[in-house]
A and B are shown apart, each in its own frame.
Chain A
Amino acid sequence: MLARSSLRASRALGATKTSATRTATRNASTQSSSESAGSWKNAALASSSTALAIGSVAWYYYQYGRPMHAMTPAEEGLHATQYPWEHEKFTKTFDHAALRRGFQVYREVCASCHSLSRIPYRSLVGNFMTVDEAKALAEENEYDTEPNDEGEIEKRPGKLSDYIPAPYKNDEAARAANNGALPPDLSLMVKARHGGCNYIFSLLTGYPDEPPAGAVVQSGLNFNPYFPGTGIAMARVLYDGLVEYEDGTPATTSQMAKDVVEFLNWSAEPEMDDRKRMGWKVIAVGSVLFAISVWVKRYKWANIKTRKMLYNNPYAQQNATKHPGSVHRR
């Protein structure tokens, strides 16, 4: 049994040996031809796998890598031009003469549809109106009183503490009067729209004389490329010479738009002047304190930074002190 199995094993060994030698001889005989055939195969394999890799990456990028837009460019609206607003610089306040002109534009033009519900008359005082002017303006409107003894609510002339009245009683009335479109409140409009001042200025001055060819404008809407969707319920309102400025500034369309935009920026950020002034004071004091703290740190660390570290290897010392006398030298 054992002999037979060992015989079989030796036979199998012999078979593998002969096959190995056979392939070796065959390889040796056909070496040159197989090398030339393998070179174009290798080139084809490499180039096709490279093409496959590039193609699959490109396909994946095409499928999933491209930026996605929920809206078409027309629905996004044209991006507003960047204008060099003087009052947006770090060290500049609002131009309060422009605020006064802008408030005049708001009162004579915008206020017929848009409310400015967060601005009381008192905040006009000391910004672009005197107390008497603001009081006179407030008294032009009537406000509800507290209930009297009979519980009746009467009307009284406005005071400085009253807020600028809205043109419509409520949003529904505003929609009903404006073809279903609600004129938004303008108090925080500069903060509430992408592009801020640039967007509002572009919107006010961006009405073309007639919509471009191919643009679809629904009835009751007007074409404005800067408005998302390009169909805006507000028609163009600012025309040259619409208001007459009391300081003699020529009331061009862009001048009125610029003034009212600056006014709306004030109504959104009435604290801006004080904020900027406080901010640069903080930066001035803070930079001095920072310089002092850097100096103190260097002063305190001077000893640590300039000291010299010495390491006495105890093993080396032991070997060095083999010769007599050196141990007790210190």
Chain B
Amino acid sequence: MAGVLSGIYSTFVRRNYVFLSTIFVGAFATQIAFNTGANAIWDSINRGRQWKDIKHKYMEAEDDE
């Protein structure tokens, strides 16, 4: 445990530019992950109701013409 913690400390926190860039990259990654997950849940709740679920019917119909 102590070895892991000191490893994390020496890897990410020791040098300030690494610490800062870890925070920034982590913030972006967290936001992207949260948005992707939340939108996936939202789309599964509203399956078949949104335009992207029914769009293919009308796009194909236009290709036939």
Residues of chain A at the chain B interface (Cβ within 8 Å): 91-97, 100, 126-130, 132-133, 247, 273, 277, 280-281, 284-285
Assuming A93-B46, A280-B38, is B54 touching A130 (CB within 8 A)? no
Q: Once bound together, how far apart are the Cα atoms of A94 and B46, in whole Å? A: 9
Also in contact, A96 and B62, with CB within 8 A (given A277-B39, A281-B38) = no
Q: How far is the CA of A284 from the CA of B54 in the complex (A)?
A: 28
Complex contact B45–A133 (CB within 8 A): no
Of all chain A residues, the one with the shortest Cβ separation from B62 is A132
Compute how far the CA of A132 lies from the CA of B64 in the bound complex, rounded to whole angstroms.
13
Q: Is the CB of A285 within 8 A of B34?
A: yes
Q: Which residues of A contact B34 (CB under 8 A)?
A: 281, 285
Closest residue on chain A to residue B39 by CB atoms: A277
B42 touches A96 (CB 8 A): no
Residue-by-residue, is B38-65 near A (CB-CB < 8 Å gives 1, otherwise 0)? 1100100110011101110111001000
- B49 near A130 with CB under 8 A, answer no
Closest beta carbon of chain A to B50's beta carbon, Å: 6
Residues of chain B within 8 A of A133, CB atoms compared: 58, 62
Once the chains bind, are A96 and B38 in contact (CB under 8 Å)?
Answer: no
CB of A128 to closest CB in B, whole Å? 6
- Chain A, Cβ-Cβ closest to B65: A132
Interface residue ranges of B8-51 to A (CB < 8 Å): 34-35, 38-39, 42, 45-46, 49-51
Residues of B within 8 A of A127 (CB): 51
A100 to B58 CA separation, bound complex (whole angstroms): 11
Q: Which residues of A contact B46 (CB under 8 A)?
A: 91-93
Residues of B near any A CB (own CB < 8 A): 34-35, 38-39, 42, 45-46, 49-51, 53-55, 57-59, 62
A96-B45 CB under 8 A given contacts A133-B58, A277-B39: no
Given the complex, which residues of B lie within 8 Å of A92, measured CB to CB? 45-46, 49
Q: Is the Cβ of B42 less than 8 Å from the Cβ of A126?
A: no
What are 22 A-B pairs with beta-carbon distances under 8 A?
A: A91-B46, A92-B49, A96-B50, A96-B53, A97-B49, A97-B54, A100-B54, A126-B51, A128-B51, A130-B55, A130-B58, A130-B59, A130-B62, A132-B62, A133-B58, A277-B38, A277-B39, A280-B38, A280-B42, A281-B34, A281-B38, A285-B34
A277-B42 in contact (CB<8A): yes
In the bound assembly, the distance between CA atoms of A277 and B46 in angstroms comes to 11
A92-B46, A96-B50, A281-B38 given; name 18 further pairs at CB < 8 Å: A91-B45, A93-B46, A93-B49, A93-B50, A94-B49, A96-B53, A126-B51, A127-B51, A129-B58, A130-B55, A130-B62, A133-B58, A247-B57, A273-B50, A277-B39, A280-B42, A281-B34, A281-B35
A132 to B35, CA, bound (A): 31
Distance, CA A95 to CA B46, complexed state (A): 9
Bound form: Cα–Cα A280–B54 in Å = 24
Contacts of A132 in B (CB 8 A): 62
* Least distance between B27 CB and chain A CB atoms (Å): 13
- State A95–B34 Cα separation when bound (angstroms): 25
